[in-house]
Amino acid sequence: MPLQDAALKAANVIDYLNRAVDSNGQRLPVENIVPALTVAAGAGFSTTSSLLSWLIYGLVAYDGMQDRLLQELVGHGSNDDTEVTPEILEDLPMRTSSSGKCSVGITHRISLAVHHREIWDNPDLFDPDRWDTERVKNRTRTEYMPMCIGFNFALQEIKVFMCLLVWRYQWLKEGEPEADYDPFFQLIRPINLYVRTTKRSVWPSKSDSVMS
C-alpha cells in the first residue's frame, strides 16, 4: 500500500516495511530491510538505556528529586494498578518540557544536557528548575534543538518508565565513587554507577498541595 496508508495501518515497523510501496509500486528491497531495522533497534535501545542511566543517577545523586516525583504521583492518585498513559502524563503539574507542554518534568529536568555558554546561564550547574524560568520559556528555536526522528516517542517512553520505577522502588546509590563516563564514546553514559533498589511498601500521604 502507499507509504502514508502503510504508516497509518501497519501494526509495527516490520509490517510497515513489508507493506509499503513507493509511487512506482516498488517495495523496499529485502537486503535493505535488515540493516534498517538493525539501526532502528540499536538506536532506540542504546539511547533510551543511556538516558535512563543518567536519570537514575539524578535520582540517587541529588537529594529530594526522587521524593518530589513520588509525591507528585501520590498527589494525583497513583496506585499499584495505575496504567501510566499519555493523558496522565499531560495532567501531572510538573515542569514544562522542551515542547512547552506540561509533562513529567522531573525526569526531563534531571537529564544531562550541554548548553552553549553564550545562551544559557551557568550551563554546568545542575539546576532542574531552570526549565520553569521565563528565560527558558521564551528561548528561540535555535537555542535548544533536540534532533531525532524518535525524540517525542523516546521522551514519552522514558517518562512512563520513570513513573513506574519510582513508584515501585526506592533507588539508592551504592558506594562512594562519583559516576564517571567516557567522553569519546558515541553515547555518553555512566560507566561506574552502582545503585540498589528496595521495593516500596510504604508511600507518603497525599498532599493537599502537590510540589511542582
Q: Which domain holds residue 160?
A: 63-199
Within-domain flag for 147: yes
Pairing of β 169-173 and β 195-199: antiparallel
Model confidence pTM above 0.85: no
Helices 65-75 & 151-168, crossing angle to 10 degrees? 90
Within-domain flag for 88: yes
SS3 102: strand
Q: How far is 212 from 203, CA to CA, in rounded Å?
A: 18
Within-domain flag for 18: no
Within-domain flag for 45: no
Within-domain flag for 67: yes
- Number of folded domains in the chain? 1
SS3 196: strand
Within-domain flag for 94: yes
Within-domain flag for 58: no
Output the tens digit of pLDDT for each of the chain's 212 residues.
Answer: 888 888 888 888 788 888 888 888 888 888 888 887 777 776 667 778 888 888 898 889 888 889 988 998 898 888 899 888 888 887 776 543 333 322 233 344 434 344 456 667 777 777 777 777 887 778 776 666 656 667 777 888 888 888 999 999 999 998 887 778 776 665 677 888 889 999 999 999 886 544 44
